[in-house]
Amino acid sequence: MSEFLPSAEDMLSGPDAHGFFGPYGGTFVPETVVPALRELEEAFETAKADTGFAAELGVLLRDYTGRPTPLYRADRLARAAGLGAVFLKREDLNHTGAHKINNTLGQCLLAKRMGKGRVIAETGAGQHGVATATAAALMGLECAVFMGVEDIRRQSLNVYRMRLLGSEVVPVDEGSGTLADAVTAALRHWVERVNDTFYAIGSAIGPHPYPAIVREFQSVIGTETIAQLAEKGERADAVVACVGGGSNAIGMFHPFLRDVPASERPLLLGAEAAGLGLDSGKHGASIAKGEPGVTHGFYSYLLQDEAGNPVEAYSISAGLDYPGVGPEHAYLHDEGLVRYEAVTDAEALAAFEQLCVTEGIIPAIESAHALALLPRLAEELGPSGRVVVNVSGRGDKDIDIVREAGLGA
């Protein structure tokens, strides 16, 4: 093979030297940010090669976050869904209630190593903000979280949590006052304060090297799952995760793509938010309905209008209403290495209720989108089908929303 053509394996472990996964990803940022991204990339590569860094993070993941999270065999759910076995990867049992802490502990540790005394983050519903505020408090870092004014209004409890944890919440009064505006504001602020400030991004998005960094810190999910299946003497036909920006999904999928030969690899299935329906114009399904474009420093599938302007995403779950998707998912989709399907609000609510009453587990509505693919998989795989679902978070934060939707009435 020509030395200029990366092998398929290299692409699986990509991105390439310029931060591209196939045509997606890259570094579409103002010149002024480029040196900061280079510095970050170097620090990340050094940390990755340093067993001391891995050991320090490993202790935090074990003793602070509570890893490994269990791989729980949910038999009543499997029976109700018409499948042979369902295994739930319990990311909801992490400290702070979701997978986001895996990433913020890693990034804040990296910030400390780089000598930055201050971290900033963007947040939509407040979940990444709380996870960043948590890691910053733990490590004695100053922390400011950018949040749209509309989200501040809707998510007052998480705003209060961040303040309790010692962080500043910076209101963003631009655009629609939601997540995409908060990312833009955080990136802009980072340019001005890059000397002492580390930007801890919340999903597998943003300019290179962020998608690779977030994937690295979230890959503990898939690595543990593979080991836990082996310990149980089990195999899976399919592995499902929900896709907002794509961090919990890439954390689950990447180790399967990297470490499991294609002939033995389960079907990898991502669940996007179809909101009120794919034809309603109110959804977050960037892969099903988006077109390639640039946003927030990277090139990927993006929800946009006919003129190519980004449009707002909608989902009942705040964590899935990002109008883009991480560049690696765009690549995995095009290559047919991962299949993506869209799940409506109504389907997610039904799956949410089903997990509550069959297993006594209240999932995040984001995670319920992944659970909603179980009936479809039962049809495809038959009654002996064996499926792993990543339960990315717990549902305490969503209680008001599901009550309003009429569940449990």
CB of 175 to ligand PLP, least distance (A): 20
Q: Which amino acid is at 132?
A: T
Catalytic residue among 89, 91, 116, 122, which? Answer: 122
Catalytic residue among 89, 91, 100, 167, which? Answer: 100
- Other beta carbons less than 10 A from residue 42's beta carbon: 12
Nearer to ligand PLP, 186 or 194 (CB): 186
Lookup: tokens for 293: 């474009």
Identify the sign of the CA torsion 106, 108, 109, 114: positive
- Catalytic (active site) residue 100: yes
Nearer to ligand PLP, 182 or 194 (CB): 182
CB of 316 to ligand PLP, least distance (A): 13
The residue sitting closest to ligand PLP, measured at its beta carbon, is 393
Q: Confirm if 384 and 369 have CB atoms less than 8 A apart.
A: no
CB of 12 to ligand PLP, least distance (A): 20
Nearer to ligand PLP, 133 or 249 (CB): 249
Contacts of 173 (CB under 8 A, 6+ apart): 148, 149
CA distances from 288 to 180, 292, 329, 334 (A): 19, 11, 12, 11
Q: Confirm if 372 and 300 have CB atoms less than 8 A apart.
A: no
For residue 123, the SS3 value is: strand
CB of 366 to ligand PLP, least distance (A): 3
User: HEC string of 53-109?
Assistant: HHHHHHHHHHHHHCCCCCEEECHHHHHHHCCCEEEEEEHHHCCCCECHHHHHHHHHH
Measure the CA–CA gap between 271 and 367, rounded to whole angstroms: 9
Nearer to ligand PLP, 364 or 387 (CB): 364
In DSSP terms, 394 is beta-bridged to 363
CB of 249 to ligand PLP, least distance (A): 6
Nearer to ligand PLP, 99 or 386 (CB): 99
CB of 393 to ligand PLP, least distance (A): 2
In the complex, which residues of this chain contact ligand PLP (CB under 6 A)? 98, 100, 127, 203, 242-249, 319-320, 364, 366-367, 392-393
- Catalytic (active site) residue 263: no
CA distances from 120 to 97, 141, 166, 170, 248 (A): 21, 10, 13, 10, 21
Catalytic residue among 216, 300, 392, 397, which? Answer: 392
Measure the CA–CA gap between 368 and 358, rounded to whole angstroms: 14
Nearer to ligand PLP, 249 or 374 (CB): 249
Catalytically active residues are: 100, 122, 392
